[in-house]
């Protein structure tokens, strides 16, 4: 790179290190490894989510070092820094899960803060868990400096093709007496064999795929195991790619267009991805200054089929999808079928269509990805519902295996713990509609995931015999007749706060409705008698989040959310 070219693309770092008045800054940077030549190079922040908190992120320090090598080898000066992460799988079912969605905002804020404060010219962010991945993408979108996201990779399956959801469902099976303590312990000891994100098409693998479809990560970054040369090479190439983006003047705003988000929604649907993708794509779009709405998922979902037979509702793990080629052949299939916008720019500096031009189809005989002519479901499994229980909307994950409608008496629980205890104790019966409320963005606060109660229902053999609705959300590992993100939430006197035991709740995925059999006059009478619950937290990050967060229908983002 010529000196003039380097100067042209150092528009942020030169304000920090050039000239007489920045002598003190250079002195401090020398102590962390800068030499004379480094001050003339573009500075690239490498945001690592490494921590020993969770298998999803335990290996990312090594991956970050590979990215550093890629940046430095391409003529830049890398600066490695860390942000936080928390573990959904570990905190699931506990009060700590309230911090999960909150951590998405903290991660985005922290990456934005470091990159902007230190004057980095570009950024590579490496994430490997449910919330740090959208948090990384949100920060890249906000900063609008050349940036690349790298997925930390999926975990290999445990013994007997087990994964984390196997464990949650085994808990329910033990409560029902279907397995004994020794069998439960054997599942616990073998389900998580090492590093990487949870192995099905749960939230991590869903978001990795969606971010790749957005064009914000390199081709096939989403479909690699956490441990191996393919992922190390992906990290080195990401370091090189951000330097190419700098030289070409390509910024996230050139990539994160409305059509790119439509591509991400399309791929998420085809993969039978997590409902959390709705929240996260809305949030990323807000930071990219793209007008994306809940109803866009319905509009796109009417024509996009579900093609992937993957867990939790299907049979296969992400590692098995990787074995037949990952998601690139799926995207090629969708592009050729007219479902993707091929003209969208990506971090390769080429369009999506250019990236997919030479991708080979899946091998003959595989049955993980269905052909377009024989889908698992002809339209989306992500169903946005409205009605007198969800005036602002709710999101259901309906694969068709659960049926398309459910009606039953409400079994109402204020909080996840009470619901889980009732399920494990055998108090929930076939035909019930389990209602878990005061778990929304404000009321939780933090919109906890309901994997413990849904796992318990499946383990007790009730997964296809009851429905569960909540103003909270679901882990990507949840399956069954489940409806989340109900808005307005209970904490702001949404209709879910007014339900009583025995009220008739009806869910219709065909008509896209969520109704309770109460008259407007009765709902009005109950609302007048409703009293807000005492806040869970009055200080600290949870209280701050509860004050600032908006509706789930806008992505549960903080600040100016509408």
Residue-wise burial string across 190-221, b where 16 or more C-beta atoms lie within 10 A, e elsewhere: ebbbebbbbbbbbbbbbbbbbbbbbbbbbbbb
Annotated catalytic residue: which of 48, 222, 475, 478?
475
Report which of 537, 535, 516 is spatially closest to residue 527, judged by C-alpha positions: 516
Asked if residues 561 and 286 have their Cβ atoms less than 8 Å apart, the reply is yes
Q: List the structure tokens of 170.
A: 């085994």
- What's the CA gap between 477 and 460, in Å, rounded? 16
- What's the CA gap between 562 and 549, in Å, rounded? 11
Angle at 152 between CA 150 and CA 157, to 5 degrees: 145
**E strand or H helix that includes residue 294:** helix 294-301
Asked if residues 169 and 200 have their Cβ atoms less than 8 Å apart, the reply is no
Complete DSSP assignment for 104-169 = HHHHHHHHHHHHHHHT-SEEEEEE-STTHHHHHHHHHHHH-SSEEEEE--BPPP-GGG--HHHHHH
Pairing of strands 405-414, 467-470: unpaired
Asked if residues 49 and 58 have their Cβ atoms less than 8 Å apart, the reply is no
* Residue 47, beta-bridge partner list: 81, 125
- The sheet carrying 77-82 orders its strands as 77-82, 43-48, 122-127, 147-151
* Residue 124, beta-bridge partner list: 46, 148
Long-range contacts at 296-301 (CB < 8 A, ≥ 24 apart): 296/261, 296/262, 296/265, 297/265, 297/380, 297/382, 297/384, 297/395, 298/380, 298/383, 298/384, 298/512, 300/262, 300/265, 300/266, 300/269, 300/380, 301/265, 301/269, 301/379, 301/380, 301/382, 301/383
- What's the CA gap between 44 and 136, in Å, rounded? 15
- C-alpha distance from residue 21 to each of 7, 11, 14, 165 (Å): 18, 17, 12, 56
Angle at 327 between CA 324 and CA 332, to 5 degrees: 105
Task: Tell me the CB-side half-sphere exposure of residue 435, using CA atoms within 13 A.
Answer: 30
Q: SS3 of 427, please?
A: coil
Q: List the structure tokens of 64.
A: 């970050």
Q: SS3 of 344, please?
A: coil
Active site residue 13: no
Cβ neighbours around 358 below 10 Å, total:
8
Report which of 533, 336, 504 is spatially closest to residue 440, judged by C-alpha positions: 533
- What's the CA gap between 256 and 290, in Å, rounded? 8
Q: SS3 of 500, please?
A: coil
Asked if residues 276 and 130 have their Cβ atoms less than 8 Å apart, the reply is yes
- Active-site positions? 475
């Amino acid at each position: 790179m010529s000196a003039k070219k380097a100067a042209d693309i150092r528009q942020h770092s030169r304000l920090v290190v050039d000239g007489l008045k920045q002598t003190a800054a250079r002195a401090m940077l020398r102590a962390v490894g800068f030499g004379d030549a480094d001050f003339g190079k573009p500075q690239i922040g490498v945001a690592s989510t490494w921590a020993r908190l969770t298998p999803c992120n335990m290996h990312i320090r090594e991956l970050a070092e590979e990215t550093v090598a890629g940046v430095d080898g391409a003529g830049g000066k890398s600066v490695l820094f860390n942000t936080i992460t928390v573990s959904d799988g570990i905190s699931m079912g506990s009060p700590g899960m309230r911090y999960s969605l909150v951590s998405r905002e903290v991660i985005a804020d922290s990456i934005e803060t470091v990159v902007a404060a230190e004057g980095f010219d570009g950024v590579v962010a490496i994430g490997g868990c449910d919330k740090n991945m959208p948090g990384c993408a949100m920060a890249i979108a906000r900063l609008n400096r050349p940036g690349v996201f790298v997925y930390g990779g999926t975990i290999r399956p445990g013994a007997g093709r087990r994964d984390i959801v196997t464990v949650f469902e085994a808990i329910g099976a033990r409560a029902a007496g279907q397995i004994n303590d020794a069998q439960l312990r054997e599942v616990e000891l073998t389900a998580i064999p090492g590093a990487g994100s949870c192995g099905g098409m749960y939230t991590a693998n869903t978001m990795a795929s969606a971010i790749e479809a957005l064009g914000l990560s390199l081709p096939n970054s989403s479909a690699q195991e956490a441990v191996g040369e393919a992922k190390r090479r992906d990290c080195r190439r990401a370091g090189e790619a951000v330097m190419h983006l700098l030289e070409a003047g390509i910024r996230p705003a050139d990539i994160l267009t409305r059509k790119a988000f439509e591509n991400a929604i399309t791929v998420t649907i085809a993969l039978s991805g997590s409902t959390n993708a709705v929240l996260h794509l809305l949030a990323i779009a807000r930071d990219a200054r793209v007008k994306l709405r809940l109803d866009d998922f319905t509009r796109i979902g009417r024509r996009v089929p579900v093609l992937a037979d993957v867990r939790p509702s299907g049979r296969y793990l992400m590692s098995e999808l990787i074995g037949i080629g990952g998601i690139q052949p799926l995207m090629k299939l969708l592009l050729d079928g007219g479902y993707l916008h091929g003209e969208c720019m990506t971090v390769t500096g080429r369009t999506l269509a250019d990236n997919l031009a030479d991708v080979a189809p899946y091998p003959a005989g595989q049955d993980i990805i269905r052909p377009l002519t024989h889908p698992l479901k002809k339209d989306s499994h992500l169903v946005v519902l409205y009605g007198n229980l969800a005036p602002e909307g709710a999101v259901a994950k309906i694969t068709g295996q659960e049926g398309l409608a459910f009606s039953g008496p409400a079994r109402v629980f204020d909080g996840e713990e009470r619901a889980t205890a009732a399920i494990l104790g055998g108090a929930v019966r076939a035909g019930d509609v389990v209602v878990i409320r005061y778990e929304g963005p404000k009321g939780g606060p933090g919109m906890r995931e309901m994997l413990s109660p849904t796992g318990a229902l499946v383990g007790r053999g009730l997964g296809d015999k009851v429905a569960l609705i909540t103003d909270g959300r679901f882990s990507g590992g949840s399956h069954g007749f489940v409806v989340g993100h109900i808005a307005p939430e209970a904490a702001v006197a949404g209709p879910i706060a007014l339900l009583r035991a025995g009220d008739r709740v009806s869910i219709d995925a065909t008509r896209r409705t969520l109704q309770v059999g109460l008259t407007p006059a009765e709902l009005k009478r109950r609302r007048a008698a409703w009293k807000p619950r005492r806040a869970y937290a009055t200080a600290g990050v949870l209280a701050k989040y509860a004050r600032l967060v908006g509706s789930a229908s806008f992505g549960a983002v903080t600040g100016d959310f509408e």
